[in-house]
Structure 1
């Protein structure tokens, strides 16, 4: 990779670090509001270190004649997530007095909007730290939306080129310039966050809890201000508000923009959105009825409890309402399968994404028809797009390596002495960016604090791979990438 290219990547990383340093002002103001100035120095020092590192990268200036090619975006995307995590972990090390391994794991979990945690005692933790966790959830969410909408289609990763029309044709369909599109998406993101804050507050949360849960809900990140997660609030309204905003965070943000720009049926007509919402409602009703028949809950309460937990796992948020590990082996298997679903493309959620499952169905249907009518020319379309060989190959490649990555990480965790359920569900929840795993150790009633350090680093890698759609990172390991 040429020196001017490295300089421009360093320049952009420097801007990211300066932005991160400025973001630390928000938890500082929170500490001043709560009169907890004992933790203020942690953010002051962390902000100073981060801004100095950012200025050091920005100081040489941006090369005049250097331009980023699509292949350079792989390096920038991966490097930005890692570098930001390295510096965002600093306040946690100072405030919680935890190892850098734990702080990095927590930060990677936050920025990738996974929601796995190693921290305990959240109910009595520093308000500045709680605000910082939710804020990095929120920043990671909008960061991934930008990447999923603007970068991944250009890089032709995992079939995301299906949605290149929404990201590149804004000149005719949504708005005149791409930077205006980014501005509108940010405004929608902020607007939904504000609406979530007001809704949680009216539903019964304190303003502090409401703003934290609003940020982590719309980012589908799942960081809570309580060890018990949403079970800490008994008001049904709080739970339904969480369900609503988890779903809103898992829908394509470009469609929100299109709706605001006059296309009122943009969300309703989209195949992803319709199938995703229908899938969730069907699972709520069926699984909720099963829980009602096998527990002492009233039917409405059973559906509400199921709706929170199913939506949390399916949208890869990571909230929990009770311990569904106690519901029996059938429920555990249901939640294990839900781990892989994910939300829509161009949203804050992780997982396989609904569109890949829909495309798989289209391909299966076409192949079955081809078996019956060998000489027929069968059209393969999804959401108005023709499924050419390149898109199909990209989706199959991503799906294959999604499964292989989970298998390899699970094998590595088992090698470290973890039981099979912890190893398998830990790998799946990391790569799918879900949050809690299964079993007594990392399930919804536990956390990841007792895992060995090597396991935390491996899971951090899994979170990064899953958030960046795997192929974006793996391409950096090929010799061809580093050749001119």
Structure 2
């Protein structure tokens, strides 16, 4: 039987931290004279009370989690925290249901960026800041989890980073907690730099603050229904593009850069592959818009590169309705949403390294067919790839496709058309944000979906953000056996 006390203590600690995060939007609404400050204050009190009770009732249980407890607390944290984060959203002046509040909070903490709120341009500042904070908290949580938890759980081939992540840095910092602390420092520094450059590009201070948090978290929540179309600026689009890419690179490599290895990002096979893909997509979509849609060079780069990288990284910002560009662009954006960024970043999707691992094994298999007596070893970052990594990656990608199709079919059963169902399922499991079509595309939002569809998408966001197996393993009877 699993000892739940360490799990509940850790969960209580996270709930208390979430309550502490409500202080800022409470103050902002109070200064702005918005009555929602009372809603935030009550939600903060209830959240802190329940989190504190969990901590006090399980204190002294130890803070060392075994493998099964790590699986359990990882899933519970991302499933339970949105319920508390939804309280100020659901009971605010926006008059949303708890279903809508939970959907919005889950979208925030998983850095998905899908929203059910309309009239964002006139929403209370506390709510706008809270949405940004949720994505910011979720972003750093995902990075720390990718460095310290997922390699240990051997989820979807993440064990390939276990040795690399800790062997390089252990010589300097012996514990994962210290590494996570330094990564958090880099995360905060990037957020501050992003805010600074947004303000230089013409954004107001509040917009710059919120958008810097959601950009570096590759989350995509904006303060306007028209997202980045509100600013209509090449400068803000370029700043966002740069920091979306930075947020999609492994944060542990930034530590190596700071330790005197300036070429660490380029020497890492995953980061190099991602940067080359970004370059290829930016050049490709720019040329396509110039040739086939008669865009000028500036328009093609500004709109094409911004939106395709926003979808690729799972950020979900939009500067125009790219769904109106025709069938080719719709197909390209639909495929790009599944790729994602790098493992160890705030990005989402399948992740670049899984495609690289599969390609390397496929190439070695073809080489063995041509030269049966040859010895061909698939390598990643110069190291042989273990067979269990290949099996994990193939299992992950097969399961990813299967869950995507099941989720799309389930959403279609609620009465949605297939374009809406497929893109909604894709954005949920890939944690991207806007889908395709008039209803959930970049010019719409998810408020028109039924409550059942929203709960289905919330579950899809959860399992997509936690790399599928971290959640699904809890449904195995063997997991609960002693």
TM-score normalized by structure 2? 0.98
Tell me the SS of whatever aligns to 2:65: coil
Conserved 8 A contact 1:370-1:378: yes
**1:431 alignment partner, one of 423, 429, 432:** 429
CA 1:98–1:386: 2 relative to 1, 3 Å: same
Conserved 8 A contact 1:170-1:177: no
Higher deviation after alignment, 51-60 or 260-269: 260-269
Distance 2:108 2:121 in 1: 18
Distance 2:61 2:400 in 1: 39
The answer to whether residue 41 in structure 2 is matched with residue 44 in structure 1 is: yes
Residue 183 of structure 1 deviates from its aligned partner by 1.0
Distance 2:337 2:73 in 1: 28
Distance 2:283 2:61 in 1: 59
Partner of 2:379: 381
Partner of 1:291: 289
Deviations 1:345-400 (A, max 9, x none): 10001101011111111011111111111222211101122111111111111111
The answer to whether residue 365 in structure 2 is matched with residue 364 in structure 1 is: no
Residue 111 of structure 1 deviates from its aligned partner by 0.3
The answer to whether residue 54 in structure 2 is matched with residue 57 in structure 1 is: yes
Deviations 1:1-53 (A, max 9, x none): 33xx21111111111111111110111222234x2231110100100110010
The answer to whether residue 62 in structure 2 is matched with residue 88 in structure 1 is: no
The answer to whether residue 70 in structure 2 is matched with residue 79 in structure 1 is: no
Distance 2:172 2:446 in 1: 43
Distance 2:172 2:364 in 1: 33
Distance 1:475 1:49 in 2: 31
The answer to whether residue 255 in structure 2 is matched with residue 257 in structure 1 is: yes
Tell me the SS of whatever aligns to 2:344: coil
Tell me the SS of whatever aligns to 1:89: helix
Residue 333 of structure 1 deviates from its aligned partner by 0.4
Distance 1:457 1:316 in 2: 20
Distance 1:332 1:309 in 2: 12
Distance 2:44 2:402 in 1: 39
Partner of 1:141: 139
Distance 2:296 2:79 in 1: 46
Partner of 1:6: 4
Distance 1:130 1:66 in 2: 34
Partner of 1:109: 107
Tell me the SS of whatever aligns to 1:400: helix
Residue 170 of structure 1 deviates from its aligned partner by 5.1
Distance 2:419 2:265 in 1: 38
Higher deviation after alignment, 284-293 or 332-341: 284-293
Distance 2:322 2:393 in 1: 32
Partner of 2:245: 247
Deviations 1:106-152 (A, max 9, x none): 11000000000000000010000000000000000000001111100
Distance 2:252 2:172 in 1: 9
Query: Which runs of structure 2 are paired with 1:165-314 in the superposition (5 Å)?
Result: 165-169=163-167, 172-314=170-312
Partner of 1:100: 98
**1:17 alignment partner, one of 7, 15, 36:** 15
Partner of 2:323: 325
Partner of 1:451: 449
Distance 2:265 2:169 in 1: 20
CA 1:221–1:174: 2 relative to 1, 3 Å: farther
Deviations 1:149-175 (A, max 9, x none): 110000110111111123332554442
Deviations 1:277-331 (A, max 9, x none): 1111111111111112233431121111111101100000000011011000111
Partner of 2:480: 482
Distance 2:447 2:62 in 1: 48
Tell me the SS of whatever aligns to 1:226: coil
Conserved 8 A contact 2:4-2:69: no
Distance 1:148 1:196 in 2: 23
**1:420 alignment partner, one of 418, 421, 432:** 418
Distance 1:445 1:53 in 2: 39
Distance 1:285 1:185 in 2: 31
Partner of 2:391: 393
Distance 1:115 1:65 in 2: 36
Conserved 8 A contact 1:170-1:178: no
TM-score normalized by structure 1? 0.97
Higher deviation after alignment, 438-447 or 290-299: 290-299
